[in-house]
Amino acid sequence: MERTFIMIKPDGVRRKLVGRIIDRIEQRNFDIVAMKMLTPSRKLAEAHYAVHKGKDFYEPLLDFITSGPVVAMVVEGENSITLMRNMMGATKPENALSGTIRGDYTISTRENLIHGSDSPESAACEINLWFPELS
């Protein structure tokens, strides 16, 4: 079974969409093997988004992700990385198809409700970063 890291971002928590998003994950028959709610520290956010350091959206992204609580999860299932990315939908609201999480709920590219690992390598890194107790 494959594992991926999923995070419901502060806008998803603030808009009370946590239950709806988790319901979609469970309806897909994925297992949530770890979950916690926390407000990320600046240090954790910097480590998570290190690949974007130096880009024009990096500082606003850090400010956003540390602005309130997130729900961090480890989701397990066959092809969980690809299937969760498909369920999430495109980052830009105008490209997110109806029926995806972003297509149904997002209103902003910057505040796009959810993050999911994009590869087995990033999943392993992100799970280790957010859930070191699982290592």
Tokens describing residue 121: 């390598």
| Catalytic machinery residues | 115
How far apart CA 60 and CA 16 sit, in angstroms, is 22
List, as own/partner pairs, every contact residues 15-19 make where C-beta atoms lie below 8 angstroms and the sequence separation is at least 24, other chains included.
Answer: 15/105, 15/113, 17/105, 17/113, 18/71
Cβ count near 60 (within 10 Å): 10
How far apart CA 55 and CA 113 sit, in angstroms, is 21
